[in-house]
Amino acid sequence: MKIGVLALQGAVAEHMKLLEKVGAEPVAIKKVEQLNDIDGIILPGGESTTIGKLMKKYGFDTALQEFSAQNKPIFGTCAGLILLAGEIAGQDWNHLGLMNITVQRNAFGRQRESFETDLIIDGVAEDFRAVFIRAPLILGIGENVKVLSEYNGEIVSARQGNLLCSSFHPELTDDARMHDYFLQMVIEYRGQTV
């Protein structure tokens, strides 16, 4: 299974290391044409506005919408979650607009308010160590969105069909269970691509 990591900005190497750990073949995606050769893609953490601008500049916005329309899985972590969201609080526009969720950028505060905590993630783990850095929050979900994890009653991970997202950075620990869950999604959806 070839799984790409969008390599425009953010924690690319860390995701690639964990993908290797779960037996996938990671590919750093820098050109739109590379999307044809992969079975799924991770949109990493970083700065959502910067990544969004670069995606638009290089044509990744429409290419990733087409990628998703083929039922190919996409996993957005932290900034990647914001890129997937249909609605961003305080903005009248979105980036990819693929997930039926509303998100709040920097919901947990600035860099100094970063923290780690153990989460229960449905279908993944009972004790997943999650790293939150300037993390967004899922304020609301719409149709067909399943909540996978909450922190203090707030949604921090969700899934909608072939789309997966987390407010936290699963790539910043050695725990590969979230990446393994995504790999299983890729295997599941590979037989259903159009």
Which residues are known catalytic residues? Answer: 78, 169, 171
d(CA 72, CA 162): 6
d(CA 78, CA 84): 10
What is the CB neighbour count within 10 angstroms for residue 141?
A: 17
Query: In the chain, helix, strand, coil percent, each to 5?
Result: 30, 35, 35
Q: Which two tokens stand for residue 62?
A: 């429409």
